[in-house]
Chain A
């Protein structure tokens, strides 16, 4: 439970006074209110909060798949509000890694192809370099023997390992994970968390959204959200424990 890096360097993620409204017909539903935060390289941060508190919305803004209604979202030095759709997509490809709750692998491609896919989109590496990078990652996540299995032939944990490898393969500045353990049993979930912690120790910055106390208990830093507002930017161990207890 240590934060390996100091928080004084230029943050990878910086939000200032961010609001996000959703429009349900003519009704405006505020999802986030005046959120400001920053995340530095090397953190292992969890956004915690009950359902409907705005965790996923916050993660989507940071993940550049949604835009803020008001306020600034700066990712890897880029003000996302200034960017067009195409540039945002480029930013995602260059700087971000995604791990989805339900893995979202390409069903017809095997593990290797799925992991290789972002590299193909980037088009920077040649075939040999790609293979080395992909196999190295599959090894790191412990499923190199399943490289040529398709998602349908893998268990949930194995699929999430493939998804993690895919998120890491471009060596992004930060990996975003939306409830990465939600669809896994507790044992597998724990193993996945341990894997991510291990990867964090090797230098990858992680940002989770979760209400799973197991995830929260392993976080280096917990940002608590309540009703779309930040309740605590760095919750204490007690808070975390209370939160964990509350969740149970």
Chain B
């Protein structure tokens, strides 16, 4: 007690030193409280983001996987996560563990959709019109195609002007010649004579040169959509509908849909609107400048999509809007794209009122069937048709590309794309086998045999004699029409036509839960019941998996989210760094000032020693003094930190970009205080202070009683 009294009084009498040391200690503990609150809240919100959108609380995947599971793995990381062979058993075993709500099968991959090349779309329309002998429709589309070929020729000319003649490769020269030919009157006369030959020329030689040929890449999760919807609580449909229960289908993430499927000019307009709404100005922001420039440079994105009917409409609209009397559509569009902070709002509205209605605003529409190209597990190109039912979002993560980049596909389609036999394919194969007497292909070769080229690649893998029959039989069965010849053209086949035979039956087929569960699954999300002890349930899940010999390994969401999970450690490191600096400074200052105090108090200490105070008592005196000031200023700083946290909780911290939206599980973070943080802050501050007093305290114990005897003078 007397020591605490001495400590308090000493503190009061050395108020200036106290102010500096106390200020640092308070700052340190305030920072600790605020930092820990932030991190704790981010950890919670991030867990909400990741757990509720993509990973679940745990992920399980094959024990013998070559690569470590990473849900957000980039293209460069290995993605050989192996397979869970007996998913029904995994599901049954793990769902029996107390605290587990659901086990949802998954597979993550990257797919590619060929979308947005208007020339391709129009050629497809033209082919359909010719086939249907719809002369009126053919005429309109033909004009549009001609227009586009004309624009393409102009663009190619411009490119070739930039190069000297001898600098041009034979390929470039040939391409220019092809486009020129397609633009000539002679060619279109030939078209009348033999439309399909001309179409083939356009499709094979000219279409690939289309400047806005668009490959849309996106990540998707192949999953049991019904279970996903039921258990990932952040899931929410935006446009369209969910995929009907048990059926095949695809849902675009709204953000992916907007970012990659939407007409690029429109998308840039949207982004500019959002950025301007945040208070930026076009001249003052590099992104805004860039988007404006791109819109000006890429007016082809608009003009390619205009045909003889719509082009005059847009032209008139632009003349009126820009209050001009003359000018080409190109020139007017260029002028239109010259936006400023002042006219942006009216241009934005004008774009959507007068121009966008004549454009293909989304290259894939809700309700469309799209052809997804991918690579099977062993690297063969493959493609699958799937119907887009709608778009969805993860609640409050709308703007985060981390969550917004994940699209959803049914598990059956996923298995097709991934190269595994689904139950119905197996069944069909069995039927086929019965009919033809063909032996079933071995499982590990099945995919290659079924999807490999009918030509040279089949020879490379040296299949058995019977197996050569299998793909062609399967092809017939699948009804993949062979207008372009071989099975290698599968991807370019008119899938809409084929969908009528093979596809539509497939699209409306309802799969039983057993079918969905019964095939190969790459990984699975384990979701917990609310309020359980995560660690305990994780341990129980791991134990159950081990006990039942499921052949899977268990990983928590943090690990499964890879880099994203690591992000928290970066913030920890930054916090730890700043705290280190503050506390190191505090330690140096405390050490120095206490050494000085020891020297000042030599006589007093000596006298106490003479009176009979042991060395240990003197040491205790200094340490108690340190602890008292630590607790005092630590409490003060913690209180200050708590106030800051309370204020932040009220106001929220805005997410700077989409990564933070994800980390914050929303556009704003509202940090909350936990008493544990105050305790941690007090403990840390006390330890730091006491540590920095150890040396001066030792010095003080070296003071001898003799030093009290010497005269003050």
Contacts and interface: CB of A to CB of B under 8 A. Distances in A.
Interface of A: 56, 59-60, 63, 65-66, 85-86, 89-90, 92-94, 96, 98, 100-102, 104-109, 113, 116-118, 120-122, 166, 170, 178, 182-183
B298 interface: no
B547 interface: no
A135 to B, nearest CB: 17
Contacts of A102: 603, 711-712
Interface of B: 2, 5-6, 9-10, 12-13, 603-604, 606-615, 617, 704-706, 708-709, 711-712
B705 A108 contact: no
Contacts of A60: 706, 709
A117 B613 CA distance: 9
21 contacts: A63-B705, A85-B615, A89-B613, A90-B614, A92-B611, A100-B607, A100-B709, A101-B711, A102-B603, A102-B711, A106-B608, A108-B6, A108-B10, A109-B5, A109-B9, A113-B5, A117-B611, A118-B611, A122-B612, A178-B709, A183-B712
Given A102-B712, A121-B612, A178-B709, A108 B13 contact: yes
Nearest to B603: A104
A98 B607 contact: yes
Given A107-B604, A108-B10, A108-B13, A65 B706 contact: yes
Contacts of B614: 86, 89-90
A121 B711 contact: no
Contact of A104 (B2, B5, B606): B606
A101 B607 CA distance: 11
Contacts of A109: 2, 5-6, 9
B608 A117 contact: yes
Interface-central residue, A94, A104, A116, A117, by most chain B CB under 10 Å: A104
A121 B10 contact: no
A188 B138 CA distance: 127
A98 B5 contact: no
Given A101-B709, A182-B711, 19 more contacts: A60-B709, A65-B705, A89-B612, A89-B613, A90-B612, A94-B612, A98-B610, A101-B712, A102-B711, A106-B604, A106-B607, A106-B608, A107-B604, A108-B9, A108-B12, A109-B2, A120-B2, A121-B613, A170-B612
A159 to B, nearest CB: 12
Contacts of B617: 121
> Is the contact region of chain B dominated by helix, strand, or loop, or is it mixed?
helix
A105 B604 CA distance: 7
Nearest to A166: B611
Nearest to B11: A108
Contacts of B608: 106, 117
Given A65-B706, A100-B607, A101-B711, A118 B2 contact: no
Contacts of A66: 706
Contact of B604 (A65, A104, A182): A104
A66 B708 CA distance: 12
B603 A63 contact: no
Contacts of A120: 2
Contacts, number: 88
Contacts of B612: 89-90, 92-94, 96, 118, 121-122, 170
A108 B608 CA distance: 13
B5 A65 contact: no
Nearest to A176: B610
A104 B608 CA distance: 9
* Chain A to chain B: the 9 pairs with minimum beta-carbon distance, closest first: A93-B612, A108-B9, A104-B607, A65-B705, A102-B712, A92-B612, A98-B610, A118-B611, A104-B708
A112 to B, nearest CB: 11
A98 B708 CA distance: 10
A94 B611 CA distance: 9
A92 B610 contact: yes
A185 B463 CA distance: 120
A56 B709 contact: yes
Contact of A93 (B604, B611, B708): B611
B713 to A, nearest CB: 8
A66 to B, nearest CB: 6
A59 B5 CA distance: 32
Contacts of A100: 607, 610, 708-709
B512 to A, nearest CB: 83
A195 B611 CA distance: 21
A46 B468 CA distance: 125
Nearest to B606: A104
Contacts of B603: 102, 104
Contacts of A166: 611
A156 B174 CA distance: 113
A60 B705 CA distance: 9
A92 B712 contact: no
A131 to B, nearest CB: 13
A100 B605 CA distance: 13
B13 A107 contact: yes
A71 B612 CA distance: 24
Nearest to A150: B9
A121 B611 contact: yes
A59 B380 CA distance: 101
Nearest to A116: B2
A93 B705 CA distance: 12
